[in-house]
Structure 1
Amino acid sequence: MGELTITSKGQVTLRKDVLRHLGVGPGDKITFDVLPDGSVALRAVRPKGSITEAFGMFKRPGGISLTIEEIGEAAADGWAGRR
């Protein structure tokens, strides 16, 4: 079990091994639960949603939506130097 020091501002810094265990890094979020026995449980916040929510995220208002096949063809054309 490790120890943490509380700063004068009431803050603590989690050690790298704890952050690695949680699977978090800079910019990520952690939730905590205060338990009745006086302990605290930490959990990494995991993004909710699915990959399908990402489709259309760059679509301009009024623009057309492309199928995955059309996107693939456009990508292949781009790599081949065709536009």
Structure 2
Amino acid sequence: MGVEVTITTEGQLRLDQAILDHLGVQPGGRLEIILKPDGRVELHSIPKKWSLKDVYGILARENAPSVSLEEMQRAIEDVQDLRERPFAVRF
């Protein structure tokens, strides 16, 4: 799909909503521009960097039991072990 855009006198360009949708970019989002040796450019969306404030409480469920840091660490280590030895059986 080719789309033509016009460069303003300030050197800016406006991307149509269809292009932003295709890239998955929202207002205020960021793009990476890669300059290719043959004069072409590539546009890639840059994923949003989440802050702790953005995700605080996202996994909270009513009446869910609390989990200690030690239990979380054991769960992380268990997953890492399974990735290293996917066919190991644990009892």
The percent identity for this pair of structures is: 35
Letter in 2 for 1:70: S
1:48 Cα deviation from its structure 2 partner: 5.7
Which consecutive unaligned segments of at least 5 residues does structure 1 have?
A: 59-67, 72-83
Counterpart Cα distance in 2 of 1:10 and 1:47: 25
- Counterpart AA for 2:66: E
Q: Which residue number in structure 2 is paired with residue 31 of structure 1?
A: 32
Gaps of 5+ in 2: 57-63, 68-91
**1:69 pairs with one of 58, 61, 65:** 65
Q: Distance in 1 between matches of 2:23 and 2:42?
A: 11
Q: Which residue in 2 is equivalent to 1:6?
A: 7
CA RMSD of aligned residues (A): 2.9
SS at match of 1:17: helix
> Partners in 2 of 1:27 and 1:48 — Cα distance?
12
CA distance in 1, matches of 2:5, 2:49: 31
Alignment length (residue pairs): 58
TM-score normalized with structure 1 length: 0.58
**Aligned-residue offset at 1:27:** 1.4
Q: Output the TM-score relative to the length of structure 2.
A: 0.53
